[in-house]
Structure 1
Amino acid sequence: MEIAAQEGLLGPLLLARSAIDRSAVLRGDAEWLERAWADAATRVVVVDDGQALIRRNGEDAELVLLSTADAPEGERYLLGLDAEGIAYFAVAASPATRPGSFNRIVSPLDPSEPGEGQTVTAGLRQVGSLLGDLDAGLLVYAVALEAWHSTHEYCPRCGSRTEVRAGGHVRVCPKDDSQHFPRVDPAVIMLIHDDDDRCLLARGPQWPEGRLSVLAGFVEPGESLEQAVAREVSEEVGVRVADARYMGSQPWPFPRSLMLGFFARATSTEFVLDSEEIAEAHWFSRAELLAAMESGEVRLPSEVSIARRLIETWYGAPLTGDW
C-alpha cells in the first residue's frame, strides 16, 4: 500500500487517500461517458449499501474491479481517471446480480476462512486500513455517492422523482428543472488537552464499556469551525476550551460527513456531562492511558478513524496491539 502521513498528524488518515483525477469536466459530456463505458479497459466498483467486493491478499486487501461487460445494471457514477487514463465508475447494485463469476462470497473478514484470494463483501470500517491508495479513494467516493443518491431520489421542492445527470454528481427534477447536488455535512472532531498535557476521552451511551474516543459534533448553520469546537465540548462535557488548532480532515461517508480534526486547550477541567450524549469522560496522562489500554480497561477507535490519529499524535507514538 502507498500510505503517506498527513502533515501535522502522526500517521496517515486512511480514508483521505486517493490516486485518481475526479475529472469533473467530463461529467457533463454524455458522448464521452458512453465511450468510456464501452471501453474494455474501464473498471467498475459495485457498491451496495456501503459494501463492495473485496479480495483478500494476506494481510492486505484489494477491490474487485469489474469490466463494464461484467457489471450489473444500476445507477452509474463516474469516479474519474487514473494516471494511465483508465476510467473508473461505480454502479449501485447488489453484487449478487453480477453476470460474472467469482469466488464464493462469505461474511466480511471471517477469521475461520482462509485469507489468501478470498472474496468477501465488506465496508470501509472493515477494510479501509487494508486497501491501497487507489482502492481506498475509489471505495470512499463510491460509498459516499451511493449513500446520497439512495436518500435523494425525489425533488424536495415538488416531490417528483429526480433523474441522475453529470455522471452521478447531480440529480435534476424533470418537473421544475431544479438541480440537487451531493451533500457533505461538516463535523468537528477534537482532541482536548489540559495544561498538565492530559487528554480528554469519553464514551457515548450507545458504545460498549471501555470504548473511549475524542469528542465530535456537527457544525451548525452560521457557525465557524472554531466556534463549533468550543460549543460541542461545552455542551457535551461542560469544559471550556481555547486555541483550537486545525490538524487535518477525512471523509467519513456514514452517510455523508467530513470530519475536521482539531487540537484544543482546555481552560477548565471539571466535567458536567450531557447524559444523552456522554456516558463517561476521563482525563488521561500518557502513562495512564497506556496502562488502561494494556489492562483492557480502555479500547481506542479503529485505525481507520481520524480519532485514532488525533490520539496517537497527542501520545507521540503509534498505539498498536490488540486493545
Structure 2
Amino acid sequence: MSIVDHLSNSTANLFSSVTVDRAPEYRLNNEELSVLADSTNARFLPVLDSQVLVSSSTTGYAVAALTRSIFDAEFHPAGPMIYLGRFNGGHHFAIDIEPASSAHTAGHLFGDLRQLAPLLPDTDCALLGYTRAMVHWQRTHRHCGRCGTLNEARNGGHVMRCTAKDCLRQQFPRTDPAIIVLVENGTRALFGRQAQWPKARYSTIAGFVEPGESAEQAVVREVSEETGVEVVNITYHSSQPWPFPGTLMLGYHAKAGDTGIRLNDHELDEAKWLSRTEIETQMRDGTFVPPTPTSISFRLIETWFNQNAATPLRVLRKTYSELET
C-alpha cells in the first residue's frame, strides 16, 4: 500500500504553513509566563475587532510582532494575554485590545486577514490565523456557558474557567470540523454557486460535520443535500485551519455514482458539471471564476484539473481573472 504524504499536502494550504512550537510546558506556570512576557524576545500580536496588525512597506506586508515596550506604549489590552508559543526565536503572545487603541507607529495598520492573506508571506498568514482564532475564541467565552459567571483565563489563555466556586467549569478552544469535496465523474467535476457570492464565482461542495457522523459520512450527506448527487470512493486530500472564526476544513475527492442534479436544500443557487476544457473556456469569457488560491477549495480543484490539463489552473486564473480577495 502506498503512503500519501498528507502532512506536505496540508502544509501547502494557506494558514497551515508555519510550525509554531506551542511549548505547552510554559502554559502551566504563570510566573514563568510573566517573565517570558517581559523578556526582550517576547513579541505581541494585537487584534482589534477581529482585525490583525501588519507592517506595511514598499516591499509589501508582514506580520507586526511588537516588543513589550512598543505594545505597552500604543495599546490597551481588552483581555488576557494568550501564549502562542515559540517562533523564529521569540515567544509570541496574542492579545485582544480596546477599540480606542490605534497603531501610532509609522508603517503599521490593522486589516481583515481574509483580504490581507494573498499579500502576506504564507508563514505570516498561518501565525496570524492562529492569533485571530484564539482571540476570537477567548472573546466569545468570557462567561461560563453553564451558570453565566465571569470566566478567568488559565493555562496561558488556552483555558477559560468559571470563577464560581460551585461551578469551576472549564472551556477549551473550539474548532468546528467541516468537509469540502471535489466530486468528479469521468472527465467532469461538480461545482456549486451560492447567490450571495461574487459574480460567476463557483466552488466545490462544503458543509459542517454534524454530531453522530464521520467526516466521510458528512461528505455523502452534504453532496446529496445540496446537489442530489450520490458519491462513492471518497479519498482524503488534506486539511486547512480556517480562522473565520475557527473551522478545520477537511478536504476530499470523491467519485459520483450518478450525475443528476437536484438542488434539494436550496443552499446553492446553481450546480453544474464542467470538464477541464469547459472550465478554461468559461474562465476566458468570465462566466466561471474559481475560488481564491487562499482556500482549500482551490487546491482540490487544482489537483484534479492539473492531472490532465495543458495549462495549470493557477496560470489560467492569473491570465483570465483579476486578483480577488
- Identify which of 150, 154, 167 aligns with 1:165: 154
Unpaired runs of 5+ in structure 1? 104-117
Q: Give the RMSD, CA atoms, in angstroms.
A: 2.0
Compute the displacement of 1:7 (Å): 3.9
Compute the displacement of 1:69 (Å): 1.8
Match of 1:318 in 2: 313
Match of 2:269 in 1: 279
Secondary structure of the equivalent of 1:167?
helix
Residue deviations 1:290-314 (CA, integer Å, cap 9, x gap): 1111111111111111011111111
CA distance in 2, matches of 1:18, 1:208: 30
Residue deviations 1:175-228 (CA, integer Å, cap 9, x gap): 11111101110000000101x221111111222331110010000111111100
State, as a whole percentage, how many aligned pairs show the same letter.
Answer: 39
- Residue 149 (1) aligns with residue 149 (2): no
Residue deviations 1:72-93 (CA, integer Å, cap 9, x gap): 2322111101253x20001111
- Rate the CA distance shift 1:23–1:162 in 2: closer, same or farther, 3 A: same
- Residue 17 (1) aligns with residue 20 (2): no
Compute the displacement of 1:156 (Å): 1.1
Match of 1:113 in 2: none
Compute the displacement of 1:24 (Å): 1.4
- Identify which of 99, 113, 116 aligns with 1:127: 116
Match of 1:73 in 2: 76
CA distance in 1, matches of 2:159, 2:263: 42
CA distance in 2, matches of 1:134, 1:315: 26
Match of 2:214 in 1: 224
Residue deviations 1:70-129 (CA, integer Å, cap 9, x gap): 222322111101253x2000111158625x7322xxxxxxxxxxxxxx543223212223
Match of 2:91 in 1: 87
- Rate the CA distance shift 1:216–1:58 in 2: closer, same or farther, 3 A: farther
Compute the displacement of 1:51 (Å): 1.2
Q: What amino acid is aligned across from residue 183 of structure 2 in structure 1?
A: I
CA distance in 1, matches of 2:50, 2:12: 22
Match of 2:3 in 1: none
Matches within 5 A, 1:1-323: 7=8, 12-58=12-58, 60-71=60-71, 72-74=75-77, 75=79, 76-84=81-89, 86-94=90-98, 97=101, 101-103=104-106, 118-175=107-164, 176-194=167-185, 196-274=186-264, 276-316=266-306, 317-319=312-314, 320-321=317-318, 323=321
Match of 2:309 in 1: none
CA distance in 2, matches of 1:262, 1:96: 44
Residue deviations 1:157-179 (CA, integer Å, cap 9, x gap): 11111111111100000111111
CA distance in 1, matches of 2:182, 2:133: 26
Secondary structure of the equivalent of 2:20?
coil
Compute the displacement of 1:274 (Å): 3.1
Q: What amino acid is aligned across from residue 68 of structure 2 in structure 1?
A: T
CA distance in 2, matches of 1:160, 1:293: 54
TM-score by length of 1: 0.87
Does the 8 Å CA contact 1:77/1:90 hold for their aligned counterparts? yes
- Rate the CA distance shift 1:38–1:49 in 2: closer, same or farther, 3 A: same
Secondary structure of the equivalent of 2:128?
helix
Q: What amino acid is aligned across from residue 171 of structure 2 in structure 1?
A: H
Q: What amino acid is aligned across from residue 285 of structure 1 in structure 2?
A: S
Does the 8 Å CA contact 2:15/2:123 hold for their aligned counterparts? no
Secondary structure of the equivalent of 1:35?
helix
Compute the displacement of 1:264 (Å): 0.5
Q: What amino acid is aligned across from residue 283 of structure 2 in structure 1?
A: M
Deviates more, 1:257-266 or 1:130-139: 130-139
CA distance in 2, matches of 1:121, 1:159: 32
- Rate the CA distance shift 1:27–1:300 in 2: closer, same or farther, 3 A: same
CA distance in 1, matches of 2:68, 2:24: 21
TM-score by length of 2: 0.87
In the comparison of the two structures, how many residue pairs are matched? Answer: 301
Higher relative contact order (CA 8 A, sep 6+): 1
Deviates more, 1:48-57 or 1:276-285: 48-57
